[in-house]
Structure 1
Amino acid sequence: MVDSTRTSVLADARAIAAADPAGQGTIATLLSYPGLHAVAAHRIAHLLWSARWVKPTAQVIATASAKATGITIHPGTVIGHRLFIDHGSEVVIGETSVIGDDVTIYQGASFVGDGSPGRRHALVENGVLIGSGAKVIGPVTIGAGAKIGAGAVVTGDVAAGTTVIGIEA
């Protein structure tokens, strides 16, 4: 498990280095990207959270990571491969969120619950881009390849491949 976590973090770093025009390569990404650091800490916290009997330790790791990076990811969140949190300050990802592969999230984006029973947070499919300051509220599904514009407020499902903008996107 720890080996697969290390492999996932390295794959995340390589994807970020390839995707970011300001990137300086995989090593620089590993050393200097708070979004990658937050995801790496999350991968460890999620392993512990999944083991159930070590949930308090998972929460401590998640809290320390949030304080260090400005990015809050609940340890219960399920995250796919190659997540890129760019300029990640103030990103919040709630407990029942599920984030697919090759997703990009910009600063200030939030995935918050609406008090629904069961799944309270978003299901984000592969290849989605979430713009700066976007708010995704409740158990919505964001289809593969969709783009959520900066500042958008999403309260309903978003079809695959579409772009949504504005309040009540």
Structure 2
Amino acid sequence: PAAQIGTGFFIDHGMGVVIGETAEIGDYVTLFQGVTLGGTGKERGKRHPTLGNHVVVGAGAKILGGIKIGDNVKIGANSVVLKSVPANSTMIGVPARVIKMEGERLPEATMDHINIPDPLTDRFETLERELLELRKKLESRNSEPSQ
């Protein structure tokens, strides 16, 4: 294989790591078990990712295609990265998305796990309110003296 690998490269628990032949790995990069630096099968020539310096890739992550991963990037376990990643970012998910840049958590990546919206509960509560209002109207009509 013709992959280019920089100084201080480390594979932690190296089982199942795949590094494509046109991959480029910067200095002081750490890959955990099950990482794939692969191609998508569509490209010719440079078809595997380029990782910058001081990159950490979590277990089971897949980085696919001739994309560039910037310096000081962290990629979460089992994430699938299909687009280039800016330096100083943290990526997670399938497909991976940026949740942190320059050490700051992005607002859209912050989730309130206690108050997660539940559309079914919201709808049931609305229906319950409407039902109570209808019952009150019906009771008031039934309590009116008949003419």
Question: TM-score category by the smaller chain?
Answer: 0.5 to 0.7
Query: What is the correspondence of 1:1-20 to structure 2 with a 5 Å cutoff?
Result: none
Name the residue aligned to 1:166. Answer: 93
Name the residue aligned to 2:139. Answer: none
**Identity, % of aligned positions:** 49
Task: Report the RMSD for the aligned CA atoms in angstroms.
Answer: 0.6
- 1:129 corresponds, among 56, 62, 67, to 56
Distance 1:146 1:84 in 2: 15
Distance 1:132 1:140 in 2: 19
Distance 1:120 1:104 in 2: 21
Residues 1:154 and 2:81 are matched in the alignment: yes
Distance 1:107 1:82 in 2: 17
- 1:93 corresponds, among 6, 10, 19, to 19
The number of residues matched between the two structures is: 95
Residues 1:106 and 2:32 are matched in the alignment: yes
Question: Which consecutive segments of 4 or more residues in structure 1 shift more than 6 A?
Answer: none
Unpaired segments of 5 or more residues in structure 2?
97-147
Q: What TM-score, normalized by structure 2, do the two folds share? A: 0.64
Opposite residue 137 of structure 1, the aligned amino acid is: L
Kindly provide the CA deviation profile for residues 79-102 of structure 1, in whole angstroms up to 9, marking residues without a partner as x.
000001000100000000000000
Kindly provide the CA deviation profile for residues 4-45 of structure 1, in whole angstroms up to 9, marking residues without a partner as x.
xxxxxxxxxxxxxxxxxxxxxxxxxxxxxxxxxxxxxxxxxx
Q: What TM-score, normalized by structure 1, do the two folds share? A: 0.55
Q: Which structure has the larger Rg?
A: 2
Query: What is the correspondence of 1:6-45 to structure 2 with a 5 Å cutoff?
Result: none
Deviation at 1:114, TM superposition (A): 1.2
Structure holding more helix per residue: 1
Distance 1:165 1:104 in 2: 16
Opposite residue 98 of structure 1, the aligned amino acid is: E
Structure holding more strand per residue: 2
Unpaired segments of 5 or more residues in structure 1?
1-74
Opposite residue 163 of structure 1, the aligned amino acid is: T
Distance 1:135 1:150 in 2: 9
Distance 1:83 1:104 in 2: 6
